[in-house]
Structure 1
């Protein structure tokens, strides 16, 4: 007997995919690629392109984390970025969704993000109390210089929006290039600003996707899908 499995799929132009991965324009495709996925066909070497997205995700998560945390905390924070402001999380999603995703795919998260953690460790920006253990306590440098470094790793669009809120200053590099840097008064201020930008982006994107999904699936199928989501959400809250 043949077995069937329901799969969610979408169609997107490669230009739109790259734009979201590099700039977090809608925080939809980039959010999905911050979690473990299985790429069937890759004509653009999207793995290399996505490394920019993964580095930015680590930086965003570190800005939101305290001075000490675990590897599970880090991946949970990364995973939660794409749910900030998601309208479905208010009533139609399992409140334990992020925890289940990370715990169920911890090894895959490790393989995705380990290179960036090793890089930060080599630069003495992160310190691991128990190397090679997912229960290790990770300590991070929360100085203003480290905060600037993390913000600099965020996508240009996010930095530009942060600069509009916090202010910008021009920095002349040795190469003669003039760069626009976000003015950061404190780590907390930078984290709040970034969080608001991501939350608003995800909120708009989730509303757009909800409407598109309803139109594509049709009223009956969309209602069934939503009812199933709500049922799971209510079970998780009991």
Structure 2
């Protein structure tokens, strides 16, 4: 169980060195020294290696090579992986990227020299310190949109490595961590981010299982995971801001990619099996045997799965949730139960429920799913709203209007098809 040992929430001996956020404000401007390197087992995180065609891979690598001081980079969205609801005869879609850099202010200073047109005029005038300060607002990311690289339109977000890893491990905003719950193409890997994201993916599985009933289809599992980051996102409730079928459009054509991303982690967590009973894995070996044992076949995702609903098992899932979500649930249930959690090492005279008993009681609450959804909305709503509002500062008025018009067009087409 080496994998689960490494990805259990903050249980890794590497945890303090991983990417834990610095509370020193100077880390955003590039004056904080990087922590020690992380060394991972060979092939650790191979599930995150989502394949693409050679043509796409070369294009993505060529684009990223145009930028300096990028420590980690991924590409995602319909420009990389096909999604339902898109016209194959339409112009090629914009490709979305996220770049992580150790020193955002330095990244922007260099990028302003090499790619000044990627920034609105006032941002160029105010300089890299201003840009890095605005980047910190909300989820800590600066987006440049509708950027032309050799005839290919791209959008790229810049985030500090610290902020990225904090979000992946603690779900501080779920803005980038939520994006990583879906298949992405890693172009420039980084060991620390790889480990932080493995923790993030396990957290997504735990949340999805807690939100689902005892029996569910495979595709319902992937849709539950893909939909986590949209809870509370204002774009999903504003007509034209986002396609209301977005989660289904992401998942349906990518069932195999979701399997590849999660099936080994699902095996490590345990508790999921075919609803029809133990699968016959005779004659199978390796990944095929694991997939069959879990009930994940080569079908379209309609297979029925069953999960362990034992109170002790589900309480363990709750105990290992990301810090920000877990704190919210603790707050709700300590108020409801009129008690506090007595943690290991507390005084023998301290009154309250022991941690294991507290979470067993919480998992038995009939409205647990509703409360979890409310807490996810709490995490996401503020940062997502801030990011949407600051878009005009990062993209400029003209590009913001054009980008919004393109979104409305997609929404209108999806609505017309549904009608």
TM-score by length of 1: 0.88
- Where does residue 172 of structure 1 map in the other structure? 344
Q: Aligned to 1:95, what secondary structure does the other structure show?
A: coil
**What per-residue deviation string (whole Å, max 9, x for no partner) do you get for residues 54-88 of structure 1?**
11101111111121111111011100011111111
For residues 42-121 of structure 1, the aligned pairs below 5 Å read: 42-90=189-237, 91=239, 92-121=241-270
Is the CA contact (8 Å cut-off) linking 1:147 and 1:187 kept in structure 2? no
2:303 to 94, 113, 136: 136
2:393 to 215, 222, 236: 215
Is the CA contact (8 Å cut-off) linking 1:69 and 1:137 kept in structure 2? yes
Is the CA contact (8 Å cut-off) linking 1:142 and 1:187 kept in structure 2? no
Query: Does 1:226 pair with 2:226?
Result: no
Is the CA contact (8 Å cut-off) linking 1:56 and 1:154 kept in structure 2? yes
- Where does residue 153 of structure 1 map in the other structure? 320
Q: Distance in 1 between matches of 2:366 and 2:404?
A: 37
**What per-residue deviation string (whole Å, max 9, x for no partner) do you get for residues 33-71 of structure 1?**
111111222233422221111111011111111211111
Compared with structure 1, are the counterparts of its residues 4 and 106 closer, same or farther at alpha carbon in structure 2 (3 Å cutoff)? Answer: farther
Q: Distance in 2 between matches of 1:29 and 1:230?
A: 23
User: What's the RMSD between the two structures over aligned residues?
Assistant: 2.2
1:186 to 364, 381, 387: 364
Worse-matched range after superposition: 83-92 or 185-194: 185-194
- Where does residue 273 of structure 2 map in the other structure? 127
For residues 18-37 of structure 1, the aligned pairs below 5 Å read: 18-37=165-184
Q: Aligned to 2:185, what secondary structure does the other structure show?
A: coil
Q: Distance in 2 between matches of 1:3 and 1:14?
A: 28
2:382 to 204, 215, 218: 204
Q: Which runs of 5+ in 2 are unaligned?
A: 1-148, 280-291, 335-339, 346-353
Q: Which runs of 5+ in 1 are unaligned?
A: none
Cα distance, 1:146 vs structure 2? 2.7
Is the CA contact (8 Å cut-off) linking 2:318 and 2:363 kept in structure 1? no
Cα distance, 1:192 vs structure 2? 2.0
Worse-matched range after superposition: 162-171 or 215-224: 162-171
Q: Aligned to 1:184, what secondary structure does the other structure show?
A: helix
Q: Aligned to 1:10, what secondary structure does the other structure show?
A: strand
Aligned positions, number: 230
Cα distance, 1:221 vs structure 2? 1.1
**What per-residue deviation string (whole Å, max 9, x for no partner) do you get for residues 187-219 of structure 1?**
533322221111122111211111222211111
Cα distance, 1:104 vs structure 2? 2.4
Q: Aligned to 1:40, what secondary structure does the other structure show?
A: strand
Is the CA contact (8 Å cut-off) linking 1:75 and 1:109 kept in structure 2? yes
Is the CA contact (8 Å cut-off) linking 1:35 and 1:79 kept in structure 2? yes
- Select the structure of larger CA radius of gyration: 2
- Where does residue 40 of structure 1 map in the other structure? 187
Q: Distance in 2 between matches of 1:54 and 1:235?
A: 32
Greater share of residues in helix: 1
The one of the two structures with greater contact order (alpha-carbon pairs below 8 A, sep at least 6) is 1
2:164 to 7, 10, 17: 17
